[in-house]
Protein backbone atom coordinates (compact mmCIF):
# COMPACT_ATOMS: atom_id res chain seq x y z
CA UNK A 1 0.00 0.00 0.00
CA UNK A 2 1.41 3.36 -0.92
CA UNK A 3 1.93 6.08 1.64
CA UNK A 4 -0.84 8.18 0.12
CA UNK A 5 -3.45 5.39 0.37
CA UNK A 6 -2.27 4.58 3.88
CA UNK A 7 -2.68 8.22 4.91
CA UNK A 8 -6.16 8.38 3.34
CA UNK A 9 -7.20 5.24 5.23
CA UNK A 10 -5.98 6.75 8.50
CA UNK A 11 -7.86 10.01 7.82
CA UNK A 12 -11.06 8.12 6.97
CA UNK A 13 -10.76 6.04 10.12
CA UNK A 14 -10.13 9.15 12.20
CA UNK A 15 -13.20 10.96 10.82
CA UNK A 16 -15.28 7.81 11.40
CA UNK A 17 -14.11 7.59 15.02
CA UNK A 18 -14.86 11.26 15.66
CA UNK A 19 -18.36 10.86 14.20
CA UNK A 20 -18.88 7.64 16.18
CA UNK A 21 -17.70 9.30 19.40
CA UNK A 22 -20.21 12.14 18.96
CA UNK A 23 -23.04 9.62 18.49
CA UNK A 24 -22.03 7.73 21.63
CA UNK A 25 -21.90 11.00 23.60
CA UNK A 26 -25.39 12.04 22.55
CA UNK A 27 -26.71 8.54 23.23
CA UNK A 28 -25.26 8.52 26.75
CA UNK A 29 -26.82 11.91 27.49
CA UNK A 30 -30.27 10.48 26.73
CA UNK A 31 -29.98 7.68 29.31
CA UNK A 32 -31.88 8.16 32.53
CA UNK A 33 -30.93 6.82 35.96
CA UNK A 34 -33.30 3.88 35.51
CA UNK A 35 -31.66 3.03 32.17
CA UNK A 36 -28.22 3.07 33.76
CA UNK A 37 -29.39 0.92 36.68
CA UNK A 38 -30.92 -1.65 34.32
CA UNK A 39 -27.86 -1.76 32.07
CA UNK A 40 -25.59 -2.09 35.10
CA UNK A 41 -27.72 -4.90 36.53
CA UNK A 42 -27.65 -6.77 33.22
CA UNK A 43 -23.90 -6.31 32.88
CA UNK A 44 -23.27 -7.47 36.45
CA UNK A 45 -25.43 -10.56 35.90
CA UNK A 46 -23.45 -11.34 32.77
CA UNK A 47 -20.11 -10.97 34.56
CA UNK A 48 -21.29 -12.98 37.57
CA UNK A 49 -22.58 -15.71 35.25
CA UNK A 50 -19.23 -15.94 33.47
CA UNK A 51 -17.36 -16.11 36.76
CA UNK A 52 -19.60 -18.95 37.89
CA UNK A 53 -19.13 -20.74 34.56
CA UNK A 54 -15.34 -20.67 34.79
CA UNK A 55 -15.47 -21.81 38.42
CA UNK A 56 -17.31 -24.92 37.26
CA UNK A 57 -20.82 -24.04 38.45
CA UNK A 58 -22.32 -24.47 34.99
CA UNK A 59 -26.00 -24.85 35.92
CA UNK A 60 -25.94 -21.82 38.19
CA UNK A 61 -24.14 -19.83 35.51
CA UNK A 62 -26.80 -20.70 32.94
CA UNK A 63 -29.54 -19.75 35.38
CA UNK A 64 -27.98 -16.37 36.15
CA UNK A 65 -27.09 -15.81 32.49
CA UNK A 66 -30.75 -16.13 31.53
CA UNK A 67 -31.53 -13.11 33.69
CA UNK A 68 -29.70 -10.76 31.31
CA UNK A 69 -32.26 -10.78 28.46
CA UNK A 70 -35.08 -10.61 31.00
CA UNK A 71 -33.61 -7.51 32.63
CA UNK A 72 -33.01 -5.86 29.26
CA UNK A 73 -36.54 -6.76 28.12
CA UNK A 74 -37.96 -5.21 31.28
CA UNK A 75 -35.89 -2.08 30.63
CA UNK A 76 -37.36 -1.83 27.13
CA UNK A 77 -40.85 -2.27 28.58
CA UNK A 78 -40.25 0.57 31.06
CA UNK A 79 -38.93 2.76 28.24
CA UNK A 80 -42.06 2.05 26.17
CA UNK A 81 -44.30 2.93 29.13
CA UNK A 82 -42.45 6.20 29.54
CA UNK A 83 -42.86 7.03 25.84
CA UNK A 84 -46.55 6.09 25.95
CA UNK A 85 -47.21 8.38 28.94
CA UNK A 86 -45.79 11.44 27.18
Higher-pLDDT residue of 84, 61: 61
| Total of domains in the chain | 2
pTM of the model: 0.66
**Of the listed ranges 2-6, 52-56, 59-63, 79-83, the one predicted with least confidence:** 2-6
Domain that holds residue 51: 31-86
Distance separating alpha carbons of residues 79 and 56, to the nearest angstrom: 36
Contacts of 71 (CB under 8 A, 6+ apart): 38, 41, 42, 45
Residues 72 and 47 in one domain: yes
Residues 86 and 51 in one domain: yes
pLDDT at 83: 83
Amino acid sequence: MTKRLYLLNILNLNSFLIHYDKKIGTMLKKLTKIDLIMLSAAFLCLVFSEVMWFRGEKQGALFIGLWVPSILGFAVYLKLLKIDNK
